[in-house]
């Protein structure tokens, strides 16, 4: 909601979930009960290319959406983006698929028109598109929209502020340690809310946006990325691996949370290892991606726009971590490039939405799958 999320916020947010997982592992926090032991990041096996016809491989259920027609708003956003590009300029150029912006837009318009047909019979896609596999396996990670319980006032355990951007030189003046542990911004009227869980606040920073639920009345508000202190992001997970807190294979958001909850005296040591600090702004609208539009659960992916452009229509075929059990979930669905982060090359960061399941899966996702460009006939 990464990165949920403005241009730089997803540069943070996905830099983050991969930073939180590969750098959590190095280069996005719903509060969730810690596992009984550090969770092991699931090494998802490479997904084979589809072996049967489309109607045997893809359905709304396989994409975890109510219907293909529910993708219409996300498709409309990609159409609008593609419409602003020069029609004759090359948009996609990968082995087996070269598309101009005009042809990419044509494909999106056709896809939008046939969504109701796809609900009735997914095999009709073959009348309108060929699907061209990307030449290498796709690195698949995930990001989500954390929800944090907060108070409008500081009291009792509600002692961890979520700040607006102070603006000007003040925004860049302090690092995370000074802000969170020495109160550098307190008393300036910048607090949006006060949380009781510093780890959840840290993961909110990693994701770049999320939602607050106020204890006073149960009301909610989105908080969106509103800038940073400009300090270099340091992957706390990598710092903790190097310190022997857990192994590289065990590294995940769940493992970080579990360790810090078991060793509360080390929270300051490890959270302040990342001097980067994120500011937020309250909003009644959901987070947006780098394309400038809201991201859609199980349909928007953050990409390297130098590899595939914003707006591109694709299929992703991969395994997601299981929830609540260990058995993986197969994901085969239509996705659109609508966000970015620290992706390089063939790396898709799938937006999973809000909730405990999304948090669980995003924290563990680090595997490979197969992606396809949909080329209009």
Q: Which of 49-53, 145-149, 300-304 has the least mean pLDDT?
A: 49-53
Q: What share of the chain is helix, strand, coil (3-state, %, to 5)?
A: 35, 30, 40
Provide the pLDDT for residue 52. Answer: 46
Residue 94 has pLDDT above 60, yes or no: yes
Pick the most confident of 26-30, 43-47, 103-107.
103-107
What angle is formed at CA 193 by the lines to CA 189 and CA 199, rounded to 5 degrees? 125
DSSP states of 108-137: HHHHHHHHHHHHH-GGGHHHHEEEEE-SSP
Distance, CA of 120 to CA of 71 (rounded, Å): 15
Chain mean pLDDT for the chain: 87
Are the C-beta atoms of 72 and 116 separated by less than 8 Å? no
- Closest to 368 in 3D by CA, of 139, 212, 182: 139
Distance, CA of 318 to CA of 316 (rounded, Å): 6
**pLDDT tens-place string over residues 328-353:** 999 999 999 999 987 899 999 999 99
Are the C-beta atoms of 108 and 79 separated by less than 8 Å? yes
Q: Is 63 exposed, middle or buried (0-12, 13-18, 19+ CB in 10 A)?
A: buried
User: What structural domains does the chain harbor?
Assistant: 7-43+145-283 (2.40.240.50), 44-142+289-376 (2.40.40.10)
Give CA separation, 234 vs 16, 27, 111, 226, in Å.
10, 7, 41, 19
**pLDDT tens-place string over residues 267-313:** 999 999 999 999 999 998 888 899 999 999 999 999 999 999 999 99
**pLDDT tens-place string over residues 183-237:** 999 999 999 999 999 999 999 998 888 999 999 999 999 999 899 999 999 999 9
């Amino acid at each position: 909601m990464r990165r949920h999320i403005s241009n730089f916020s997803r540069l943070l947010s996905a830099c983050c979930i991969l930073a939180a997982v590969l750098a959590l592992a190095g280069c996005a926090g719903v509060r969730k009960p810690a596992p009984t032991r550090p969770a092991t990041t699931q090494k998802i096996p490479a997904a084979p290319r589809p072996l049967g016809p489309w109607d045997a491989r893809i359905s709304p259920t396989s994409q975890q959406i109510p219907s293909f027609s529910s993708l219409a708003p996300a498709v409309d956003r990609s159409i609008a983006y593609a419409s602003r590009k020069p029609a004759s300029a090359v948009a996609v150029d990968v082995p087996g698929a070269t598309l101009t912006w005009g042809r990419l837009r044509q494909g999106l318009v056709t896809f939008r028109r046939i969504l109701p047909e796809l609900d009735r019979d997914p095999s009709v896609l073959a009348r309108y598109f060929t699907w061209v596999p990307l030449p290498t396996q796709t690195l698949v990670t995930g990001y989500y929209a954390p929800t944090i319980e907060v108070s409008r006032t500081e009291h009792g355990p509600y002692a961890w502020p979520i700040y607006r951007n102070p603006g000007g030189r003040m925004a860049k003046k302090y690092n995370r340690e000074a802000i969170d542990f020495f109160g550098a911004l307190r008393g300036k009227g910048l607090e949006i809310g006060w949380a009781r869980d510093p780890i959840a606040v840290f993961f909110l920073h990693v994701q770049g946006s999320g939602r607050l639920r106020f204890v006073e009345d149960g009301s909610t508000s989105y908080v969106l990325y509103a800038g940073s202190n400009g300090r270099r992001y340091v992957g706390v997970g990598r710092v903790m691996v190097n310190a022997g807190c857990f192994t590289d294979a065990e590294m995940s958001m769940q493992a970080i949370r579990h360790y810090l909850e078991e060793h509360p005296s080390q929270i300051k040591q490890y959270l302040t290892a990342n001097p980067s600090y994120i500011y937020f702004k309250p909003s009644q609208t959901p987070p947006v991606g780098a394309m400038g539009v809201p991201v859609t659960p199980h349909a928007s992916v953050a990409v390297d726009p130098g590899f595939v452009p914003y707006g591109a229509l694709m299929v992703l075929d991969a395994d997601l971590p299981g929830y609540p059990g260990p058995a993986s979930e197969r994901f085969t669905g239509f996705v659109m490039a609508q966000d970015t982060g620290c992706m390089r090359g063939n790396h898709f960061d799938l937006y999973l939405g809000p909730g405990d399941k999304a948090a669980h899966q995003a924290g563990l996702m680090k595997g490979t799958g197969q992606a396809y460009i949909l080329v209009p006939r």
